[in-house]
Amino acid sequence: MSSVIEDVMARKLFNSRGEETIEVDIVTTDGFGRAGAPAGASKGKAEVVSYPEGGVDAAITKLEELIAPELIGMDAEEQNEIDALLHEIDETENFGNVGGNTVFAISLATAEAAATSYDLPLFQYLSGYLANELPYPLGNVLGGGKHALGKTTDIQEYLVIPFKAPSFAEAAKANIMVHQKIGAFLRKADKKFTGGRGDEGAWAPNIENEEALKIVVKACEEVSEEQGIECRACLDVAASSFWNPKESVYVYSMEGKKRDSGEQLEFMLQLIEDYNLAYVEDPFEEDDYESFAELTKKVKNCLICGDDLFVTNRERLTQGIKMGAGNSLIVKTNQVGTLTDAWETMRLAKRAGYVPVMSHRSGETTDTHIAHLAVGFSCPVIKTGVLHGERVAKINELIRIEENLGNRAQMSIL
């Protein structure tokens, strides 16, 4: 078996929002890897640059002229060396020269090419034969913010997570049932509701923030009782998207309210306590480590997760750990560039007791790699949507992985 790279190719494709994106193929002597880059609508300001000036076309040109000649002849097994080379070629801290999405696609395709060179699934190549834990699916069922058009909730995502599910397949089914019940509740509550959905397949109704949460909690309670699974409501507030830095307030358009940092803290505490929330992501703007730390101190049995706060970045996570800001982080490889960069950030998180959540982006491809990364990197939670084909692709791949593991498969301990 040989994993020596023989060819590197790139093309322009479209993501789930119809935006142009890059896809990369890595061909080895005995293997093949392919990866496409997703894109976020709600981005942290500290994320790497997605594409160089000139967009996807410029990224492909730079890949062909600068990167491919260097990669050919290298061994795809040498992931660290290849990822270090990508940094060296780019020569910037944020991949501003060749683009973060370019190096993301190369890095992930390289890992898959190495795995297939040895006839191994990616998750097993990354973790060895002892990997046997499936993540809990965290699914977006209702929302608005930057993921939907028109008059929708200020809070970006209302999510559900099914604890105590005996298998991943049953956990995924529970999320789908919650999504279906919410749709029925919305149609009953508002005869004008047309079934509109956001980028990730979540319902996007014209409804106030807390009213939406009540509907999600009701659906969770009904499915929990029917399935014997503890479904709990969660939020991705994406607070940076409605933070007004000039006034230092969070502007809740649907409620006609403005909340300063202290009021935002009290509002988050109230929602967590009143609705038994299991997870709250980005409850404050992306530089407010102090409020993240204060909220984390005051809650129990709830993950306080940083996405825009940390952007899968080791330096920002180190700052958060020092201050006790949050107890969980979103892992999005294309926020930081390479697989090695993401792995090092996640390893730091685990050592500090933070729960890593492998995550999709709002603009997705039909790639299923994050399913393998979640298992291969032992992430207890995967945030990957509930419905829409590009989300279901990840869910279905995890069901296949569960089947592959057979009797060894078990749900993660969280």
Query: DSSP secondary-structure letter at 401?
Result: H
Residue 43 has pLDDT above 80, yes or no: no
- Mean pLDDT of all residues in 154-172: 96
- pLDDT (0 to 100) of residue 180: 97
Residue 149 has pLDDT above 70, yes or no: no
Which tokens hold the place of 195? 């079934």
Burial class (CB in 10 A: 0-12, 13-18, 19+), 219: buried
Determine the Cα–Cα distance for residues 145 and 393; give it in Å rounded to an integer: 24
**pLDDT category, 41, cuts 50, 70, 90?**
confident
Please spell the DSSP secondary structure of 299-323, one letter per residue: -SS-EEEESTTTTT-HHHHHHHHHH
Tell me: do 115 and 187 sit in the same domain.
Answer: no
Tell me: do 87 and 145 sit in the same domain.
Answer: no
Look at residues 103, 119, 135 and tell me which one is the last residue of a structural domain: 119
- Residue among 147, 158, 279, 281 nearest 210 (CA): 158
Tell me: do 80 and 163 sit in the same domain.
Answer: no
* Segments in 156-246 forming alpha helices (H): 168-189, 209-227
Tell me: do 340 and 210 sit in the same domain.
Answer: yes
Residue 42 has pLDDT above 70, yes or no: no
- Residue among 85, 49, 84 nearest 67 (CA): 85
Cβ 331 vs Cβ 346: under 8 Å: yes
Strand partners, 12: 22
Tell me: do 75 and 180 sit in the same domain.
Answer: no
Residue 141 has pLDDT above 90, yes or no: yes
Look at residues 63, 88, 119 and tell me which one is the last residue of a structural domain: 119
- Mean pLDDT of all residues in 72-88: 98
Q: What is the pLDDT of residues 185-195, one digit of tens each?
A: 999 988 888 88
- Element spanning 236, H or E: strand 230-236
In whole numbers, what is the pLDDT of the chain averaged over residues?
95
Determine the Cα–Cα distance for residues 390 and 39; give it in Å rounded to an integer: 13
Please spell the DSSP secondary structure of 33-90, one letter per residue: EEEE--B-SS--TTSPPSS-TTHHHHHHHHIIIIIHHHHTTSBTT-HHHHHHHHHHHH
- Mean pLDDT of all residues in 264-289: 98
Which tokens hold the place of 241? 């998207």
- pLDDT (0 to 100) of residue 69: 98
Tell me: do 197 and 72 sit in the same domain.
Answer: no
Tell me: do 288 and 380 sit in the same domain.
Answer: yes
- The residue with greater pLDDT, 340 or 131, is 340
Q: What is the pLDDT of residues 293-341, one digit of tens each?
A: 999 999 999 999 999 999 999 999 999 999 999 999 999 999 999 999 9
Tell me: do 189 and 330 sit in the same domain.
Answer: yes
- Mean pLDDT of all residues in 365-393: 96
Please spell the DSSP secondary structure of 165-182, one letter per residue: -SSHHHHHHHHHHHHHHH
Residue 349's CATH number: 3.20.20.120
- The residue with greater pLDDT, 276 or 39, is 276
Percent of the chain with pLDDT over 70: 99
Residue 67's CATH number: 3.30.390.10
Determine the Cα–Cα distance for residues 198 and 178; give it in Å rounded to an integer: 17
Interacting residues of 79 by C-beta distance below 8 A, sequence separation 6+? 107, 110, 111, 114, 339, 340
- pLDDT (0 to 100) of residue 40: 78
- pLDDT (0 to 100) of residue 32: 98
Residue 148 has pLDDT above 70, yes or no: no
Determine the Cα–Cα distance for residues 83 and 107; give it in Å rounded to an integer: 6
- pLDDT (0 to 100) of residue 152: 82
**pLDDT category, 150, cuts 50, 70, 90?**
low
Tell me: do 52 and 166 sit in the same domain.
Answer: no
Which active-site residues does the annotation give?
200, 332
